[in-house]
A and B are shown apart, each in its own frame.
Chain A
Amino acid sequence: MHRLLVIEDDPGVADYLHQGLTESGYAVDVARTGPEGRAIAMAGSYAVVLLDLMLPGMDGFEVLKGIREHGHTPVLMLTARDRVDDRVKGLSAGADDYLVKPFAFSELQARVVALIRRGNSAFTEQTLLSVADLEVDFAAHTVRREGRRIELSPKEFQLLSLLIRRKGQVVTRTTLAERVWNVHFDTESNMVEVTVRRLRAKMDDDFSLKLVHTVRGVGYALEDRS
């Protein structure tokens, strides 16, 4: 089990992160002030440190400096400031990733997974992923179910790739819009629904085992629920 450290002074956010990440299967420690966070981060061994920028006692950049002097624990910065300059400052100060509040929990989860993978040097990008009888070959750009080849449009393929890379997790419509269509703002469009519908028609409708699930009001998840 991976250990995570959350350094966050706001009790609401800290509790929510603690609960959410614990439910996602991590061991989570929480620090409420800058100095406390730095001390805990430097004493323990964590897979990822989630660091708020505005902290009492010592700001996030100071804490980050302390952590960087000590080792290479991946640090994910959380902040309400999202001016590009702040972002550059965060990343150049040695943060591994940067997430702007308020953020989607699923987004945070995905970032944490990515950081843990990145920290694990043995990890190499897999070219073949499968769930039940579904196989996605990223190198050949092919999709098969029960060994039968399924033709997808490029957008459908991208969408399926995202779902299978985060299999078991809920991927929000917003994340899909961003990653597949590069749409970074709210729109009226139901493009995500339409594309998911088309994708299902091609890869789920003809099979008794349904793999793409709708999570009401949130998004979609790909998993074998049988």
Chain B
Amino acid sequence: MRSKTAVESSSIVLSLSLRLAWLAAALLGLMAICVYLAVAALQVKAQERLLTLKVNKLTETSQILLRADDHRFAALLQNNAARRPGTRLEIFDADGRLFYADPFTEPHQLSRHQRTRHFTLHAASGEAAPVLQGSFTIDVASDVQLAQTLQNVLALATLIGTLVAGLLSFLVVRQGLRPLGRFAAETEAMSRSATPGHLALAPRSSRELAPLVVHFNQLMTRLRASRDQLEAFNADVAHELRTPLTTLIGKTELALSRPRGMDELAATLVSNLEALRRIGALVNDMLFLARADGGDTARLGPVGSLRALMQDMMDYHEPAASERGVALSVQGDLVLAVDEPLFLRALSNLLDNATRHATPGTAVTVVLDTEAGIPQLGVRNEGAPIAPADVPRLFDRFYRADIARSSDGMHCGLGLAIVAAVARMHGGRTSARSDASCTVIGFTLAPHRAKHDPMEDMLRIDRRENDGLRRGAWVAG
């Protein structure tokens, strides 16, 4: 793990410095080529200027001397030959016969690097004057040598420059990436730690890294919060399962501890079934919440009256309510699309909750209305007020304001958490308020989500037929 990290981070440094070295090589190379070309061009220009100068002088001299006396001109050329080292002059007359040539000896012995200018010499006037053709050659070996040296120097400079640039890049990049290395080291240490905390890396250590560090720390905070929540949730689940499991194990052991009659064994099985049902209900509720957390959304049915939709559910809760001396009623109506099974499930949980906490002889009322354009459902009951500190936590999983009554029936403290999940899946939110006169718990619905899922129509019948197990029907077998 560690070596892999090291290899990867050094490869960033390597590849970056390699790239920088290539860049330096390209730039230095280009510069060297430019310098070389410029010098070469200057050399040619200087050579040409020299040739022009010499030929012009020759032409001037010839114009003065040629008319009068060819031999004087030739003699002059011969006398001056020593003053033209490193050059070579050859002149032919009109018939192609040699008129004058520098000897092939020092200082007129030229290297193979030469530059030649051809010229014609005229007399200024007079037809008798001969026309001479000539060539003036200069030795440019020193220029070529200079260029050669320059070329070598430039190539060497480019090479060394590249190497130095690469090395410096390597050092600078490595230095620059040091915070990244610290970041990796810290995160690695953190991943090994049982209780990961925050990165100590100062956010200002580098401007590019700062957001990374900040976001990483925020992520860690959120992860830790959700991990804590998950751990608490798991502990709660285990705790909730422990009670029915204890009953199951104990009663089964007891039943097997001595010979028993059929009736006694049947009674044990019935009681075990009750415990299994509670486990089943808990597992199903948790699965439901897990899916809601996992992003399941409501599948909206057609737009319709919620009051009409609720009728069966109200009837269904009627006997349990009247057993507690509580009357159920509905106030108002809303016409909109909801996921019917989800909506009814939330309503059922709210009715359960309200009925259990209502003072006998009072009424539980489901209120459907719109506030500030947002449709909402509230279930109102009269009873002991919920402590203000408890109100915000009502919808937490496994949260019970009344510990003393926690063990009755199927209620494991997920009822209102499911209400919250259903509200979320409908794009709404939960609401709760409680005072001395009454408690109202409910949720809002997104006002315009009329876009209803066509697949839902296809499945509606199927779901009604097949939904044996949205809840815990199985244990009933």
A residues with CB within 8 A of B: 82-84, 87-88, 91, 97-108, 155, 172-175, 177-178, 181-191, 193-194, 216-219
Task: Take A181-B316, A183-B348 as given contacts and tell me if A175 and B476 are in contact as well, using a CB distance cutoff of 8 Å.
Answer: yes
Which one of A84, A87, A107 lies within 8 Å of B473 (CB-CB)? A107
Task: Take A104-B475, A187-B317 as given contacts and tell me if A217 and B269 are in contact as well, using a CB distance cutoff of 8 Å.
Answer: yes
> Which residues on B sit within 8 Å (CB–CB) of A182?
312, 344, 464
Known: A84-B463, A174-B471, A217-B273. 14 other contacts (CB 8 A): A82-B469, A88-B459, A98-B462, A100-B466, A107-B477, A182-B344, A186-B471, A188-B409, A189-B320, A189-B352, A190-B323, A191-B319, A191-B320, A217-B270
Task: Take A189-B320, A191-B320 as given contacts and tell me if A99 and B284 are in contact as well, using a CB distance cutoff of 8 Å.
Answer: no
Q: Can you offer 29 A-B residue contacts whose CB atoms are under 8 A?
A: A87-B466, A88-B459, A97-B466, A98-B466, A100-B466, A100-B468, A101-B474, A105-B477, A106-B477, A107-B468, A108-B477, A172-B477, A174-B476, A178-B473, A181-B313, A181-B315, A181-B316, A182-B464, A183-B344, A184-B345, A186-B277, A186-B281, A186-B410, A187-B317, A188-B411, A190-B319, A191-B317, A191-B320, A217-B269
Say whether B95 faces chain A, with CB atoms less than 8 Å apart.
no
> Which residues on B sit within 8 Å (CB–CB) of A98?
462, 466
> Which residues on A sit within 8 Å (CB–CB) of B312?
181-183
Task: Take A98-B466, A178-B467, A217-B270 as given contacts and tell me if A103 and B473 are in contact as well, using a CB distance cutoff of 8 Å.
Answer: yes
Query: Is the beta-carbon distance between A155 and B315 smaller than 8 angstroms?
Result: yes
> Which residues on A sit within 8 Å (CB–CB) of B472?
174, 186
Query: Which of B270, B281, B356, B477 has its CB near the most chain A CB atoms (within 10 A)?
Result: B477
Determine the residue in chain B with the shortest Cβ distance to A105.
B477
Say whether B341 faces chain A, with CB atoms less than 8 Å apart.
yes
Which one of B271, B284, B318, B410 lies within 8 Å of A191 (CB-CB)? B318
Query: Is the beta-carbon distance between A183 and B323 smaller than 8 angstroms?
Result: no
Query: Is the beta-carbon distance between B317 and A185 smaller than 8 angstroms?
Result: no
A contact patch SS: mixed
Query: Is the beta-carbon distance between A189 and B319 smaller than 8 angstroms?
Result: yes
Question: A178 vs B313: C-alpha distance in the bound complex, in angstroms?
Answer: 11
Say whether B118 faces chain A, with CB atoms less than 8 Å apart.
no
Say whether B299 faces chain A, with CB atoms less than 8 Å apart.
yes
0/1 string, B288-315, CB within 8 A of A gives 1: 0001000000010000000000001101
Shortest CB distance A130–B (Å): 26
Which one of A186, A188, A216, A219 lies within 8 Å of B266 (CB-CB)? A216
> Which residues on A sit within 8 Å (CB–CB) of B345?
184-185
> Which residues on B sit within 8 Å (CB–CB) of A100?
466, 468-469
0/1 string, B436-477, CB within 8 A of A gives 1: 000000000000000000010011001110111111111111
Q: Which of B334-362 contact A (CB under 8 A)?
A: 341, 344-345, 348, 352, 355-356
Query: Which of B274, B285, B318, B471 has its CB near the most chain A CB atoms (within 10 A)?
Result: B471
Which one of A97, A184, A194 lies within 8 Å of B471 (CB-CB)? A184
> Which residues on A sit within 8 Å (CB–CB) of B320?
187-191
6 tightest CB-CB pairs across the interface, nearest first?
A217-B270, A105-B477, A172-B476, A102-B474, A104-B477, A194-B319
Task: Take A88-B459, A183-B344, A218-B476 as given contacts and tell me if A175 and B468 are in contact as well, using a CB distance cutoff of 8 Å.
Answer: yes
Task: Take A84-B299, A181-B312 as given contacts and tell me if A104 and B468 are in contact as well, using a CB distance cutoff of 8 Å.
Answer: yes
> Which residues on B sit within 8 Å (CB–CB) of A106?
476-477
Query: Is the beta-carbon distance between A183 and B411 smaller than 8 angstroms?
Result: no
Task: Take A106-B477, A219-B476 as given contacts and tell me if A189 and B316 are in contact as well, using a CB distance cutoff of 8 Å.
Answer: yes
Interface residue tally for chain B (C-beta within 8 Å):
51
Determine the residue in chain B with the shortest Cβ distance to A218.
B476
Query: Which of A155, A177, A183, A190 has its CB near the most chain B CB atoms (within 10 A)?
Result: A183
> Which residues on B sit within 8 Å (CB–CB) of A183?
312-313, 316, 344, 348
> Which residues on A sit within 8 Å (CB–CB) of B463?
84
Say whether B280 faces chain A, with CB atoms less than 8 Å apart.
yes
> Which residues on B sit within 8 Å (CB–CB) of A193?
319
Question: A216 vs B467: C-alpha distance in the bound complex, in angstroms?
Answer: 24
Query: Is the beta-carbon distance between B471 and A185 smaller than 8 angstroms?
Result: yes
> Which residues on A sit within 8 Å (CB–CB) of B468?
99-100, 103-104, 107, 174-175, 178
> Which residues on B sit within 8 Å (CB–CB) of A184?
341, 344-345, 467, 470-471
Query: Which of B316, B323, B476 has its CB near the most chain A CB atoms (within 10 A)?
Result: B476
Question: A218 vs B467: C-alpha distance in the bound complex, in angstroms?
Answer: 19
Query: Which of B341, B464, B470 has its CB near the most chain A CB atoms (within 10 A)?
Result: B470
Determine the residue in chain A with the shortest Cβ distance to B474.
A102
Question: A102 vs B280: C-alpha distance in the bound complex, in angstroms?
Answer: 9
Question: A150 vs B47: C-alpha distance in the bound complex, in angstroms?
Answer: 132
Query: Is the beta-carbon distance between B466 and A99 smaller than 8 angstroms?
Result: yes
> Which residues on B sit within 8 Å (CB–CB) of A177?
316
Query: Which of B313, B356, B455 has its CB near the most chain A CB atoms (within 10 A)?
Result: B313
> Which residues on A sit within 8 Å (CB–CB) of B464?
182
> Which residues on B sit within 8 Å (CB–CB) of A216?
266-267, 270
Query: Is the beta-carbon distance between B476 and A87 smaller than 8 angstroms?
Result: no
> Which residues on A sit within 8 Å (CB–CB) of B477?
103-108, 172, 218
> Which residues on B sit within 8 Å (CB–CB) of A88?
455, 458-459
Question: A154 vs B366: C-alpha distance in the bound complex, in angstroms?
Answer: 24
Determine the residue in chain A with the shortest Cβ distance to B471.
A185
Which one of A91, A97, A105, A189 lies within 8 Å of B317 (CB-CB)? A189
> Which residues on B sit within 8 Å (CB–CB) of A102?
280, 469, 474-475
Determine the residue in chain A with the shortest Cβ distance to B313.
A183
Question: A172 vs B355: C-alpha distance in the bound complex, in angstroms?
Answer: 25
> Which residues on A sit within 8 Å (CB–CB) of B475?
102, 104
0/1 string, B184-211, CB within 8 A of A gives 1: 0000000000000000000000000000
> Which residues on B sit within 8 Å (CB–CB) of A187?
316-317, 320, 348, 352, 410
> Which residues on B sit within 8 Å (CB–CB) of A155?
315
